[in-house]
Amino acid sequence: MLHKTFSVYSDDLEDVQLFIEAGKNHIACWCKKQGDDVLRAFEFFRCNDCSSENLEEIVDKTRLYSKLLTMPVNGTNFFWNTHEVLCLPPGYDNPDFLKANFELMFGDSANAKIFSAPTALCTVAWRIEDQQQHIAQDCFRGARFTHQYTSILKFLHTLRPNSFCLLFYPYYFTLIVFKEDHLQFAHTRKYNIPEDVLYFILNTCQQYNIERNVEIFCGGFIDEQSKLYELLYQYLEGFQLMSVNENAFAAEAFKEFSLHYYMPYINYVV
């Protein structure tokens, strides 16, 4: 089942680059022009399970309701938003080493392939089922494939030398931790109730010897009127929504929705 949550379009969609993010329960599409950071259009779809068994069907249905997936574009960038991802020291990309670490952390997966990409902070490695990758490549021929971590890590470490970044998606979240300007931790996990998120953050503070009043910059799909927001705001002194430059949007219609919804999409770096 696929549901189009919302969409926003500006008048100028000529000669844009297309960005697609696929998570377990969502598909996000947006576009920018090469060389600027202005968001020209954005679409967000929710789905039950974006897996290899139904990925092709989900993409086909998304195209029925998407303007961005059916118009001419100047290049396509596809980002996997998955939980089977590791951040390792720079240069640690030996296939046997990566395989051993994925099996240790996530178990064996005979029908999956491991990819990796270097960043200034670390080596990002992710594991995707072969069939899922092949389907995505067939659906988006010529697209550049990578993982969301490779992009968001390029801008998140500029927030503060000591800070948490908390990004929400349907039914799961990503937590990225910096201490003394060094990446300490990055993890994506599912949550069922707001207390799951709070406990995970507090446990991370304890495990990494970080004060509970650390600044926590939050973005993504969290409602300011929700129990989740109220709980985090009540118990986490440094909790705050990410500030968004209003000049990053090409149309006033973007502001009809909470601007933190568009984080981190407006800052994806390719």
Over the stretch 44-94, which tens digit does the pLDDT of each residue have? 999 987 777 889 999 999 999 999 999 999 999 999 999 999 999 998 989
Q: Has residue 130 got a pLDDT over 90?
A: yes
**Look-up of token digits 């990578």:** 146
Structural domain range at position 13: 2-74
Q: Residue 270's pLDDT is what?
A: 58
Picking from 50, 74, 98, the residue at the C-terminal end of a domain is: 74
- pLDDT, residue 52, reads 74
For residue 185, tell me if it sits in a domain: yes
Q: Which of 74, 103, 128 is a domain's end point?
A: 74
| 49 domain-assigned | yes
* Residue 2 confidence (pLDDT): 87
Give me the mean pLDDT over the 214-225 stretch.
94
Question: Which amino acid, one-letter code, is at 222?
Answer: I
Predicted local confidence at residue 48, as pLDDT: 82
Rounded Cα gap, residues 145 and 136, in angstroms: 9
Of 20, 249, 14, 2, nearest to 147 by C-alpha is: 20
- How far is Cα 207 from Cα 226, in angstroms, rounded to an integer? 28
Residue ending a domain, among 74, 100, 124, is: 74
Reduced to 3 states (helix: H, G, I; strand: E, B; else coil), residue 90 is: coil
Kindly state whether residue 97 falls inside one of the protein's structural domains. no
How many separate domains does the chain show? 2
Neighbours of 118 (CB within 10 A): 13
- Is the pLDDT assigned to residue 160 strictly greater than 80? no
- Distance CA(27)–CA(44), nearest Å, equals 6
Tell me if 79 is assigned to some domain: no
- CB neighbourhood size of 162 (10 A): 17
The enclosing domain of 247 has a CATH number of 3.30.420.260
What residue has token string 């997966």? 109
110, part of any domain: no
pLDDT-derived band at 27, boundaries 50, 70, 90: very high
Query: CB count, 10 Å around CB of 51?
Result: 13
State yes or no: pLDDT of 131 exceeds 90.
yes
**Please, which pLDDT band fits residue 120 given cuts at 50, 70 and 90?**
confident
